[in-house]
Chain A
Amino acid sequence: MLLEEEAYPFEERALALHSENHQRITAGGFNAWIEKSLGVLAELHPGRYDRSPRWMSITTEGNDDA
């Protein structure tokens, strides 16, 4: 059995636990532990949790030649 296959159930368990912790936002609010869980979830399951907000650039209108 490959090491990767052996690790799979542990990874699944970690995902479940961190996901459960993440769900606690609604009850107890955001805290450092939920933040850590979100970080781990983004690594283990990027398709579901890896989201970065998008900043917008402010463009200034003006004529540099003037």
Chain B
Amino acid sequence: MPEQKCVRLPVLKIWIFCGSLTATLLLAGCAAQPMKSPKADSLSPADVATLVATLNNQALLLKQQHRFSEAAVLLETGLQSSPEVAELHYNLAVISELYLLDLGRALRHYQRYQVLSASEDKKVTGWIARSPDTGSLRSFNR
């Protein structure tokens, strides 16, 4: 019996070594592959539109509860996946301007909203035009 143990131990070591080598190679191979989001691939344009509208409306509900930072984060999340949705830019601009006092961000999103809007929103054009060259909406004049 002791002889058998002596013979099997090196074999076991070799198996363990081979196993860990295979696992390492597999992990390295997986790490080299770009991550794919199966959800993003499988969503139809209608699903994306519904998702964006839901995100937007949830953000406005957060705004109603005075949770402005969280609302802004949600809108930013929506913009990451759908940067071409004008309403997300508009709402983020309003929340940034009036409730977070982040005027630089507000101006950027008002401008993006104007670019993306199908028809020109004269009110927004006025807000942008009256902002000083510094990129701030702070010193609006009456």
Contacts and interface: CB of A to CB of B under 8 A. Distances in A.
Contacts, number: 57
Interface of B: 44, 46, 49-50, 52-54, 56-57, 60, 63, 66, 68, 87, 90-91, 94-95, 97-101, 126-127, 130, 140, 142
Contacts of B94: 51-53
Tell me the interface secondary structure of chain B in the complex.
Answer: helix
27 contacts: A22-B98, A25-B100, A26-B101, A30-B66, A38-B98, A45-B142, A47-B142, A48-B127, A48-B142, A51-B94, A51-B97, A52-B94, A53-B60, A53-B90, A53-B91, A53-B94, A54-B56, A54-B91, A55-B57, A56-B53, A56-B57, A57-B53, A58-B49, A58-B57, A59-B46, A59-B50, A61-B44
A55 B130 contact: no
A59 B60 CA distance: 18
B56 A25 contact: no
A58 B91 contact: no
B56 A55 contact: yes
A5 B49 CA distance: 51
Contacts of A33: none
